[in-house]
Amino acid sequence: MTRFTFIHAADLHLGSPLAGLAARDAEIARRFASAGRRAFEDLVTLAIERQVAFLIVAGDVYDGDWADHAIGLFFARQVARLDRAGIPVVLVRGNHDAESVVTRTITLPEGVRTFPAARADTHRLDGLKVALHGRSFPNRAVEENLSLTYPPAVPGWFNVGVLHTSCTGHAAHATYAPCSVADLRARGYDYWALGHVHEYLELSQDPWILFPGNLQGRSIRECGPKGAVAVDVADGRVTGVRRLIVDHARFHHLGVALDGCGTEREAVSAVEAALRPLADIAYGRLLAVRVHLTGATAAHDRLAADREGLTAEIQAAAHRIHDDIWLETLTIATRRPRGAVDGPPGFSAAIDPATLLAEIDRDPEFRARAVAALAEITAKLPGGEESELAADLDALCAEAEAVILGRLSGRSC
Question: Model confidence over 249-282: pLDDT tens digits?
Answer: 999 999 999 999 999 999 999 999 999 999 988 8
Threshold 0.85, pTM exceeds: no
CA 119 to CA 67: how far, in whole Å? 29
* pLDDT, mean of residues 64-86: 94
Per-residue pLDDT of 10-26, as tens digits, reads: 999 998 876 556 556 77
How is the beta sheet containing 227-234 ordered, strand by strand? 112-114, 89-92, 55-58, 3-9, 227-234, 237-245
Residues 296, 96: Cα–Cα separation, whole Å: 45
Beta strands in 167-307 (DSSP E): 191-195, 201-205, 208-211, 227-234, 237-245, 249-257, 286-294
pLDDT higher than 70, residue 52: yes
- Which residue ranges does the chain devote to CATH 3.60.21.10? 3-245
pLDDT value at residue 184: 97
Give one word for 115, left, alpha or beta, with left for phi > 0 and alpha for psi -120 to 50: beta
Q: Are 180 and 167 in contact, with CB atoms under 8 Å apart?
A: yes
Q: Give me the architecture of the 3-245 domain, per CATH.
A: 4-Layer Sandwich (3.60)
Segment 174-182 shows an average pLDDT of: 89
Highest-scoring range by mean pLDDT, 24-38, 122-136, 328-342:
122-136
Is pLDDT above 80 for 248?
yes
198 torsion bin: left (phi>0), alpha (psi -120 to 50), beta (else): alpha
- What is the model's pLDDT at position 338? 80
**Rounded to an integer, what distance in angstroms lies between the CA atom of residue 20 and that of residue 214?**
18
Residue 76: per-residue pLDDT: 96
What per-residue confidence (pLDDT) applies to 384?
42
**For residue 207, cis peptide bond before it (omega within 30 degrees of 0):** yes
pLDDT value for 99:
86
For 124, the 3-state DSSP assignment is strand
Residue 217: is its pLDDT beyond 70?
A: yes
Distance CA(413)–CA(323), nearest Å, equals: 23
Q: What is the pLDDT of residue 386?
A: 42
